[in-house]
């Protein structure tokens, strides 16, 4: 092989690190996938409780992803396009849900809804230990990820076309609606997918704020925990495999749309 | 006519020196001025202040005997063509050119006839259903020019419009710009690094240096 085509030891070393990390992951997934038989997995997944938890997960994740994008688009746009006093502080504050332990978020939610302001909201829409509470618990964390995604999307879109739109007589809202938003469509899908995937895996805040009541507020991560806590390992593994499959599908969707952002 | 009076602009942040430090100059109606200056000298900032996209720290902007310093960009009577055209990424050429008319509430039939006329005048009639990724650099600049001209501005502001095209396309676009100025009777301020563009187009040559317009001269 000519010197020009010889792969440098530097790149080989980097490749080994990547291969080691991915190999570890594949080994874990393979071990989980072969822990139980396909028949047992199907039996668990077709049970009434798991079908309910699956449906509830799909519905609540979709609702929290839509809510997250509805908040992430205006907040991400504001943070990307405007510099204002305290911008850095607001930027850091928006990341708090990302770094806070999820269980702490659940405790904060539970305490807030015991206050006077929270009580007023509860009177209009009961949330604590309800399906609504599942969505709120997922949303408060997923929205932070969606905001970060949308901010990156807007950072990568040049503001020049919006500025040209303003010189052509558009208001800032019209420039946003007709020029920027259509260009951010793929990014919005990516943000929704990230929020959806994050919501699917959420467990701590849901357990604390919405509870883990079978056939009521039980979502897939709760099912894994409930099965594990009573020693039903096959059931826990079966639900875990279902969640891995769903996550893979979301990941593929994000990658496919991400390339078009 | 364009007139700037003692424009000062300082970037945000403590202790920063002003980028524009008392810029004053005038460009007579229907003339073609070229503004030159080093990278970072504040040329684009000056255009943004003229467009109303950036507020000056102090000073006044006049366009056609009307002070526009406090007016929003859409009410200044300007057309703006940034570097590389800044076309709207998801709109067809037809939608791009008709955009300003649509924002002004012009009836659809009139929009169609005016956009066809504008597209014809810059030679993009065959491209009306294309999206920006399907256009060459020169075509993008032509579309951006038609989009700016269709709303009949009295002043055309060009920010390095020929910087990203080859020399042959530059010659074509320079001829188009000369013809546009002649046919529309429009005042043009053209920012460039290129001496070739300045000598080929500018009746007035301005140089921005050290925060001020230092030299101005006529070539015709």
pLDDT at A6 over 90: no
Q: Looking at residue A259, what is its pLDDT?
A: 52
pLDDT tens, residue by residue, B165-187: 888 888 889 999 999 888 888 99
Nearest CA in chain A to B48: A163
- Does residue A30 sit in the same domain as residue A79? no
Mutate to test the interface with A, among B44, B45, B73 (most CBs of A within 10 A): B73
How many Å apart are CA B161 and CA B87, to the nearest integer?
Answer: 13
- Does residue A76 sit in the same domain as residue A177? yes
Cβ atoms within 10 Å of B123's Cβ, excluding its own: 14
Nearest CA in chain A to B74: A169
pLDDT at A166 over 70: yes
- Does residue A72 sit in the same domain as residue A5? no
Q: Looking at residue A4, what is its pLDDT?
A: 66
- DSSP letters spanning chain A: --GGGSPPHHHHHHHHHHHHHHHHHHHHHHHHHTSS-HHHHHHHHTSHHHHHHHHHHHHHHHHHHHHHHHHHHHHHHHHHH---TTHHHHHHHHTHHHHS-HHHHHHHHHHHTTSHHHHHHHHHS--TTSHHHHHHHHHHHHHHHHHHHHHHHHHHS-SHHHHHHHHTT--HHHHIIIIIHHHTHHHHHHHHHHHHHHHHH--HHHHHHT---TTTT--HHHHHHHHHHTT-HHHHHHHHHHHHHHHHHHHHHHHHHHTT-
Task: Give the distance from residue A255's alpha carbon to the nearest chain B alpha carbon, in angstroms.
Answer: 21
Residue B173's nearest CA partner among B220, B219, B138 is: B138
Exposed, middle or buried: residue B200 (CB in 10 Å: 0-12, 13-18, 19+)?
Answer: middle
- DSSP letters spanning B46-100: HHHHHHTSS--SEEEEEETTEE-TTS-GGGS-EEEE-TTTT--TTS-HHHHHHHH
Token pair of B142, please? 């032509």
Cβ atoms within 10 Å of B83's Cβ, excluding its own: 17
- Does residue A2 sit in the same domain as residue A48? no
Interface residues on A facing B, Cβ-Cβ cutoff 8 A:
83, 157-158, 160-161, 163-171, 174, 178-179, 182-183, 185
- Does residue A17 sit in the same domain as residue A52? no
Task: Give the distance from residue A206's alpha carbon to the nearest chain B alpha carbon, in angstroms.
Answer: 40
Contact B53 A163 (CB under 8 A): yes
Exposed, middle or buried: residue A31 (CB in 10 Å: 0-12, 13-18, 19+)?
Answer: exposed
Q: Looking at residue B166, what is its pLDDT?
A: 87
Contact A161 B87 (CB under 8 A): yes
- Does residue A25 sit in the same domain as residue A145? no
Q: Looking at residue B163, what is its pLDDT?
A: 87
Cα torsion angle, A172, A173, A179, A183, sign = positive
B44, B50, B52, B56: CA torsion to nearest 10: 80
How many Å apart are CA B206 and CA A69, to the nearest integer?
Answer: 48
What is the count of structural domains for chain A? 2
Q: How confident is the model at residue B219 (pLDDT cuts 50, 70, 90)?
A: low
Cβ(A184)–Cβ(A104) below 8 Å:
no
Structural domain that includes position A19: 1-34
Residues in chain B: 220
Check which CATH number belongs to the domain holding A80 and give it: 1.10.3720.10
- Does residue A71 sit in the same domain as residue A88? yes
Radius of gyration of chain A, Cα coordinates, nearest whole angstrom: 22
**Residue A183 or A36, more confident:** A183
- Does residue A149 sit in the same domain as residue A102? yes
SS3 B129: coil
Interchain CB contacts (distance < 8 Å): A and B: 72
Nearest CA in chain B to A157: B89
- Does residue A111 sit in the same domain as residue A192? yes
Cβ atoms within 10 Å of A137's Cβ, excluding its own: 30
- Does residue A92 sit in the same domain as residue A27? no
pLDDT tens, residue by residue, A188-236: 999 999 999 999 999 999 999 999 999 999 999 999 999 989 998 889 9
Token pair of B45, please? 């900032």
Q: How large a percentage of chain A has pLDDT more than 70? A: 97
Task: Give the distance from residue B26's alpha carbon to the nearest chain A alpha carbon, in angstroms.
Answer: 21
Token pair of A89, please? 């502080």
Contact B86 A169 (CB under 8 A): no
- Does residue A131 sit in the same domain as residue A69? yes
- DSSP letters spanning B98-125: HHHHHHTT--HHHHHHHHHHHHHHHT-G
For tokens 């006329």, name the residue.
B117
- In chain B the first and final C-alpha atoms are separated, in Å, by 18
Task: Give the distance from residue B192's alpha carbon to the nearest chain A alpha carbon, in angstroms.
Answer: 18
How many Å apart are CA B62 and CA B67, to the nearest integer?
Answer: 4
A46: region left, alpha or beta (phi > 0 left; psi from -120 to 50 alpha) = alpha
Poorest-pLDDT segment among A50-54, B1-5, B202-206: B202-206
Mean pLDDT of A110-128: 94
Q: How confident is the model at residue B220 (pLDDT cuts 50, 70, 90)?
A: very low
pLDDT tens, residue by residue, B20-74: 999 999 999 999 999 999 888 999 999 999 999 999 999 999 999 899 999 999 9
Token pair of B1, please? 């006519």
For residue A158, list chain B residues with Cβ-Cβ distance below 8 A: 86
Radius of gyration of chain B, Cα coordinates, nearest whole angstrom: 17
For tokens 């000519």, name the residue.
A2
Q: Where are the domains of chain B?
A: 2-218
pLDDT at A90 over 60: yes
- Does residue A13 sit in the same domain as residue A123? no
Mutate to test the interface with A, among B16, B89, B133, B155 (most CBs of A within 10 A): B89
CATH H-level superfamily of B2-218: P-loop containing nucleotide triphosphate hydrolases (3.40.50.300)
Per-residue buried b or exposed e for A161-197, using 16+ beta carbons within 10 Å of the residue's own CB:
bbbbbbbbbbeeebbbebbbeebbeebbbbbbbbbbb
For residue A171, list chain B residues with Cβ-Cβ distance below 8 A: 74
Cβ atoms within 10 Å of B67's Cβ, excluding its own: 12
Mutate to test the interface with A, among B14, B68, B71, B74 (most CBs of A within 10 A): B74
């Amino acid at each position: 092989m000519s010197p020009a085509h010889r792969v440098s030891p530097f790149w080989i070393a980097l490749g080994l690190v990547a291969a080691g990390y991915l190999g570890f992951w594949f080994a874990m997934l393979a071990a989980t996938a072969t822990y139980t038989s396909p028949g047992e997995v199907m039996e668990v997944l077709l049970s009434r409780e798991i079908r309910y938890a699956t449906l509830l997960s799909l519905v609540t994740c979709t609702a929290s992803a839509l809510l997250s994008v509805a908040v992430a688009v205006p907040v991400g746009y504001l943070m990307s396009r405007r510099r204002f006093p305290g911008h850095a502080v607001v930027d850091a504050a928006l990341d708090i849900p990302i770094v806070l332990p999820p269980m702490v978020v659940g405790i904060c939610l539970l305490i807030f809804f015991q206050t006077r302001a929270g009580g007023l909201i509860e009177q209009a829409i009961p949330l604590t230990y309800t399906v609504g509470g599942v969505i709120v618990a997922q949303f408060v964390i997923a929205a932070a990820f969606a905001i970060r995604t949308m901010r990156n999307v807007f950072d990568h879109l040049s503001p020049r076309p919006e500025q040209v739109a303003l010189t052509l007589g558009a208001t800032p809202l019209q420039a946003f609606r007709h020029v920027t938003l259509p260009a951010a469509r793929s990014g919005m899908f990516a943000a929704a997918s990230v929020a959806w995937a994050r919501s699917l895996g959420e467990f701590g805040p849901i357990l604390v704020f919405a509870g883990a009541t079978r056939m009521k507020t039980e979502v897939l991560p709760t099912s894994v925990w409930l099965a594990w806590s009573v020693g039903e390992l096959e059931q826990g593994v079966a639900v875990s495999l279902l969640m891995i499959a769903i996550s893979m599908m979301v990941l593929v969707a994000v990658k496919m749309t991400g390339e078009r952002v | 006519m364009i007139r700037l009076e003692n424009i000062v602009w300082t970037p945000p942040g403590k202790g920063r020196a002003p980028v524009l430090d008392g810029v004053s100059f005038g460009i007579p109606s229907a003339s073609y001025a070229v503004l030159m200056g080093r990278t970072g000298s504040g040329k684009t900032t000056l255009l943004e202040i003229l467009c109303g996209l950036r507020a000056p720290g102090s000073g006044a902007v006049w366009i056609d005997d009307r002070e526009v310093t406090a007016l929003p960009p859409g009410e200044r009577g300007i057309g703006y063509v940034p570097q590389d055209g800044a076309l709207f990424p998801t709109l067809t050429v037809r939608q791009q050119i008709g955009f300003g008319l649509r924002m002004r509430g012009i009836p659809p039939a009139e929009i169609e006839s005016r956009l066809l006329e504008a597209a014809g005048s810059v030679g993009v009639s065959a491209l009306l259903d294309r999206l920006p990724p399907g256009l060459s650099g020169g075509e993008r600049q032509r579309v951006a020019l038609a989009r700016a001209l269709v709303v009949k501005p009295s002043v055309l502001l060009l920010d390095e419009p020929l910087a990203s095209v080859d020399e042959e396309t530059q010659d074509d676009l320079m001829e188009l710009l000369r013809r546009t100025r002649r046919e529309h009777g429009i005042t043009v301020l053209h920012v460039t690094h290129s001496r070739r563009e300045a000598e080929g187009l500018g009746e007035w040559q301005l140089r921005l240096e050290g925060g001020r317009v230092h030299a101005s001269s006529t070539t015709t």
